[in-house]
Structures are given as C-alpha cells and as structure tokens.
Copies of this chain bind each other. A is one copy, B any other.
Amino acid sequence: MDPTDPIERIHAALEAAVAGVEGGGCPPRLVAAVRHAVFPGGARIRPQLCLAVAAAHGDDDPALTDAAAVALELLHCASLVHDDLPCFDAAATRRGRPSVHRAHGERLAVLAGDALIVLAFQALAQAPARHPARLAPLLSTIAGGVGMPRGIAAGQAWECESQVPLREYQAAKTGSLFAAATMAGAMAAGGDAGAWRELGERLGEAYQVADDIRDVAADPEWLGKPIGRDLALGRPSVARERGLVGALGHFQQLVETAADAVPPCRGASRLRALVHSEAARLVPPAWSARVCQGLPAAA
C-alpha cells in the first residue's frame, strides 16, 4: 500500500480491524454480513476528514489516528445497515448492491450493525497506548457522534416523533458524526478539538442537504440506492422545504461556510480542497446548472 494515500491507509486499517475479529470461532455468516457492510465501502469521507485534521496537527500517534478513523467509518457503516432495515427505509439496495438485510437476512443485518458498533470501540481500545490520556476524550467524542442525546441514533429516532425539528434532526443524523470526525482527528494527534467542530458540523449539514437533493433529483442507478424515499416515508427534507433550486443554493452556501471554517493550519489548503472535491462528487456542478435552467438534474 502507499502509506501517503489516505484511502489506502483507511482501507488497510479497516481490513486489519475486521481481520482481527473474524477468526477465533466467529460465526461465518456474521463475518460475511459485516464484510458486506464495510467493503468495498463508499467515499470514506469521515475517516478522510479525521486523517486530514490529524495531519494538520502533526499526526504524532498514527495508530491512534487510524483507530479513530476506523471507529468513525464502522459506526457510519453500522448506521447504514440499520437504517436500511425493513422497519426503517426498507432499502433493497445500497452502494449499487443488495443492502445487508437483503443479502444476508434481517437477523444478520441487526447483528452486523450491533457488531460493527462494538468493533468501532474495540478498534479504539486496541490501539497501542502511547498516549493513554487521549483515549477517554476520543472515545467520548466518537460515541457522542452516534449515541444520545444528539448522535445518529437520536437523529434516526426523530423520525419516530410527531413533531420533527428539521435542524436538530439533521444535525443529529449527519452533522454529529462529521463533527466527531474532525474533532477526533485533532484529539488523536493531541490537538485542540474545539477549533474543528464548526467544519464538521457545516460539512455534515451540507451532506444532509445533498442527500435530500439526491433523493429527489438523482438517477437511482448512478446513486446505487432507491430515490424518493424521504417523500415516501414522510421524512423532513430540505429539498421539499425549499424546493430543488433553493436546496442547491443552500448546499453551495454550506460548502463555502465549511471551507471557511477550516482553521489556520499547515494542511488548510488540502482540507479546503477536500471539502470542494467532496461537494462536487455529491452534487455534480452540471446538475446544479441544469436545475437552475429548469431542466431535470440527472440527464
């Protein structure tokens, strides 16, 4: 592997984490379901953020940074597996393949999600303890991104309430783990986490808006999962609230706010470039242009 390529570094760390628990008498179908959920994976944006912020702080404990990156990505994968379950989105596809419950059954999808949540924390625990005092705050920050009161589980639980505050819902469902990713990168390298919260939160918000836009406007084959789910499930959606053109404008604004929130540091320009390249991947500029001309987004 090329250790300077963040995607290869993330892949190697994820592979090592899964390999570390798949032997030793683990039931093979659980291993298969977990592997299905984690590989080949999506954009790996949360661990990429974590690595980039750690690099900005000198990345003096790369094994701890890797563990944090792995934990963030495994928790993200777990949330997708459970979110796709029949009682939630009932999504048949994810990343262009059958969803975990379609491929491996509902029971293994529940268990794979559970096991992935646990594996995230096993990965953190098993990083060599070069800086023992960093572990507790790192653990707390990452767990907060997925738990109560304002992490992903809370975000998904808003969908079970009769009144849904859109901003809190989206901040919990997406923003929280993004903020955990940027802050965890700083913490793993012994830096100040507070300076990185804003970047994560704005980027998470942009992601959620992009998701709403894609749910309305994307080609499902290109997207790799069904579209129109927010509407079908009566979920709050920025695209529904502001219209497609309004949502696209809001997305661009959030991306710029996120880029501006990168604090002064030696990796700042790389981080801003990461923000912009991710934005273009999420909502191709050609779409925005077509929608603003009154044409359908996906040709």
Q: Decide yes or no whether A268 CB sits under 8 A from chain B.
A: no
Min CB–CB distance A41 → chain B (angstroms): 18
- Contact A85-B110, Cβ < 8 Å, known A30-B154, A147-B118, A157-B27: yes
Residues of B within 8 A of A135 (CB): 132, 135-136, 139
A147 vs B24: C-alpha distance in the bound complex, in angstroms?
12
Q: Is A30's CB under 8 angstroms from B87's CB? A: no
**Cβ of A117 < 8 Å from any Cβ of B?**
yes
Q: Does A256 contact B (CB under 8 A)?
A: no
- Is A107 part of the contact surface with B, judged by Cβ < 8 Å? yes
- How many copies of this chain does the complex contain? 2
- Binary interface encoding of chain A residues 72-105 relative to chain B, with 1 for a CB under 8 A from any of its CBs, else 0: 0000001000100101100000000000000001
Flag if A118 contacts B143 (CB, 8 Å): yes
A111 within 8 A of B: yes
A299 at the interface (CB under 8 A from B): no
Contact B157 A24 (CB under 8 A): no
Chief secondary structure at chain A's binding surface: helix
- Chain B residues lying within 8 Å of A172, measured Cβ to Cβ, are 25
Pick from A4-12, A123-131, A209-217, A276-284 the stretch touching chain B: A123-131
A46 within 8 A of B: no
Q: Are B125 and A110 in contact (CB under 8 A)?
A: no
B108 touching A148, Cβ below 8 Å: no
| Minimum CB–CB distance for A94 against chain B, Å | 17
Residues in B whose Cβ lies below 8 Å from that of A27? 154, 157-158, 160-161
Contact with B along A136-176 (1 / 0, CB 8 A): 11011001101111110110111111000000100010000
CB distance from A157 to the nearest CB of B (A): 4
Instruction: Say yes or no: is A22 at the interface (Cβ < 8 Å to chain B).
Output: yes
Interface check A122, CB cutoff 8 A: yes
Is the CB–CB distance between A107 and B87 below 8 Å? yes
Interchain Cβ contacts under 8 Å between A and B, 10 examples = A26-B149, A28-B161, A29-B157, A87-B107, A88-B107, A105-B160, A111-B157, A114-B114, A114-B146, A132-B133
Q: Beyond the given A78-B114, A87-B106, A121-B121, could you list 16 further A-B residue pairs with CB under 8 A, ordered by the A residue number?
A: A21-B147, A24-B149, A25-B149, A25-B150, A29-B161, A107-B159, A108-B160, A115-B154, A119-B148, A122-B139, A122-B147, A125-B139, A126-B140, A129-B136, A132-B132, A135-B135
